[in-house]
Structure 1
């Protein structure tokens, strides 16, 4: 596929700056922020960028191919679109935009339980090739109904989330009175009036809502009511007893997301899971924890022969993808990078962002004479 992107915005940071100018402050701060003092948010990317790769310029090299086999499917690149909550709040219709772009470029798109498009809509746009991320419900009947909807729509890969035993403490969202639909304080109204493109697109597509959960929840919840509903609806801490029936019930691939240590990785293997995503929720849950690249390196070294080891959190560019692959990840996911693209460029943002990342990654592979994705660890400079 020939790649096309907007030359005014050739980097993810360019897209971030454009997104900041186009969407209301409360939406940008939800997207951009971490938890508490944002320590782990910044550490994630900084410590990935401590990883160095060895360039080779006189070695024989024919070509570099970034195609990657994962769970029996050959993807065109070793990265996918991570699940993100409240996507339509940040840019209207963004889950649909990103799902279409992912399908076009043959990379995975993961739909979050708490995003703003339905299981059925995304399944139709991707011909059932999307993945679904489950926040574990408190009631088994709700869990079973959501999984039934996924199965009927054709989803083959289910991602269960383990790093939200409690919701992260996020001061910006508290100050902004974030709710669905957003609480229209005078401050928020003024922010919306200053972003006419966002406001017009919201009018066109309608106020964002939790489309997946809509059949199960009361209408027009404010922040306090929404928090109460989420606490009552989702059971928080995941454990072996909750995973076992899902493994028995789900016939497709089952992935555990939010793994941050070797103990949980080993339990995932014992429970018969197909993959893990080493992640700290983009630095949005535990500010005092490790960055993702550190446990990724240890887990991959110890368990890569037993389970598919993937990673998200802190990856912002093609070189970051390369560094993560060289450190042991077999596949990577990004959330913010793609949301910056859509918030900056609307319907063109998904295609543009994927094209940037593919171009950047290809360039790194050529520089270091890496022919295949699985060869990346051979090019790591160890310290």
Structure 2
């Protein structure tokens, strides 16, 4: 697909600043923030950028290929779009915009259970090429039904979320009324009035909803009771028995997201999972936990030949992708960068952000004289 780049916003920080001005503060802080004092939010990116890469200049000039094989499919680049809940809160129809862009650029898009588009709609947009991320339901019957729907919609990969056994303590969301149940305050109303384009687009698109979960939510439920329903319906605590039940039912590729220890990876290998995504939920769950890149190293050392190892959390730019792959990840997922893009540029935000990241990554690999993503590990300067 032909690249689209808006020259007014040539990098992710420009998109972030544009998004900050264009959407209500409560929506931006939901997207941008972490938990508690946001220590791990900062540590994630800082430690990726502490890594250094070695260029080799006296080699034959090459044109790098960004293609990589993952989960039985060849993708055009070694990165994808991570699952984010309530995408439609940041920008109306964001889920659909990003899914379409991902499909057209041939990279994976992961839909969250609490996304604002239905799993059937996203499958239609991507012609069965999206991945589905499952928040574990408390009831086995609901889990079975969600997996049956995902299978019927021909999702090739199921991503089970492991790192939300409890909801992170996020003070900004509490102040903004985005805790469960949410509330609309005078402060939020004034913020909406200051963002007329967001307000008009939201009015036209309709109030964001958990579209995948809509069949299970009783009609006419108030916001207060919706919060109670969600807390009762989903139980984020995984264990080996629950993971085994999912493995037994799901016939496609199975990945666990939120892995941060070699002990958990060992269990995933034993249960026959196809991959793991090393992640700390973007610094939104455990403030004093290890960075994603810090957790990656021992996992790669022990299990790189036994299971596909991917990574998210803290990755923002093309150079960040390169460093993450150099550190041993086979594939990288980004969340906030894509939401900055859509919040800043609307329907062109997905194409724009993907094009930026591809161009940045290509430049880094050309500078290093690295022919393909799998060879980036040869350029890591080890301390």
Into which bin does the TM-score normalised by the smaller protein fall?
over 0.9
1:337 lines up with 2:324 in the alignment: no
Q: Residues 215 and 180 (structure 1 numbering): CA distance in 2 closer, same or farther, change over 3 Å?
A: farther
Aligned mates of 1:347, 1:250 — CA distance in 2: 34
The answer as to whether partners of 1:82 and 1:335 remain within 8 angstroms in 2 is yes
Map 1:173-252 onto structure 2 (within 5 A). 173-178=173-178, 183-218=183-218, 219-222=220-223, 225-252=225-252
Q: Give the structure 1 partner of residue 289 of structure 2.
A: 289
Map 1:1-383 onto structure 2 (within 5 A). 1-178=1-178, 183-218=183-218, 219-222=220-223, 225-383=225-383
> If the length of structure 2 is used for normalisation, what is the TM-score?
0.98
The answer as to whether partners of 1:326 and 1:380 remain within 8 angstroms in 2 is yes
Aligned mates of 2:354, 2:181 — CA distance in 1: 29
Deviation for aligned residue 1:54: 0.5
The answer as to whether partners of 1:179 and 1:221 remain within 8 angstroms in 2 is no
The answer as to whether partners of 2:259 and 2:279 remain within 8 angstroms in 1 is yes
Q: Residues 189 and 161 (structure 1 numbering): CA distance in 2 closer, same or farther, change over 3 Å?
A: same
| Residue deviations 1:84-114 (CA, integer Å, cap 9, x gap) | 0000001000000000000000000000001
Q: Gapped runs of 5+ residues in structure 2?
A: none
Deviation for aligned residue 1:217: 1.7
> If the length of structure 1 is used for normalisation, what is the TM-score?
0.98
| Residue deviations 1:231-290 (CA, integer Å, cap 9, x gap) | 211122100000111101111000000000110011110110000000000000000100
Q: Residues 110 and 303 (structure 1 numbering): CA distance in 2 closer, same or farther, change over 3 Å?
A: same
SS at match of 1:69: strand
Deviation for aligned residue 1:214: 1.2
Aligned mates of 2:180, 2:153 — CA distance in 1: 26
| Residue deviations 1:320-349 (CA, integer Å, cap 9, x gap) | 000000000000100000000000000000
Deviation for aligned residue 1:297: 1.3
| Residue deviations 1:119-166 (CA, integer Å, cap 9, x gap) | 111000000100000000000111011111111111010000010110
SS at match of 1:255: strand
The answer as to whether partners of 2:112 and 2:134 remain within 8 angstroms in 1 is yes
Aligned mates of 2:268, 2:206 — CA distance in 1: 40
Aligned mates of 1:321, 1:51 — CA distance in 2: 11
| Residue deviations 1:4-38 (CA, integer Å, cap 9, x gap) | 21000000000000000000011000000000010
Aligned mates of 2:134, 2:198 — CA distance in 1: 29
Deviation for aligned residue 1:184: 2.1
* Matched positions, count: 382
SS at match of 1:213: helix
Deviation for aligned residue 1:58: 1.8
Aligned mates of 1:328, 1:306 — CA distance in 2: 13
Q: Residues 67 and 358 (structure 1 numbering): CA distance in 2 closer, same or farther, change over 3 Å?
A: same
SS at match of 1:187: helix
Aligned mates of 1:126, 1:181 — CA distance in 2: 32
Deviation for aligned residue 1:230: 2.3
Q: Which moved more, 1:309-318 or 1:169-178?
A: 169-178
The answer as to whether partners of 1:122 and 1:130 remain within 8 angstroms in 2 is yes
| Residue deviations 1:182-237 (CA, integer Å, cap 9, x gap) | 63211111110110010000011101011111111244543x54442222111221
Across the aligned residues of Structure 1 and Structure 2, the Cα RMSD in angstroms comes to 1.2
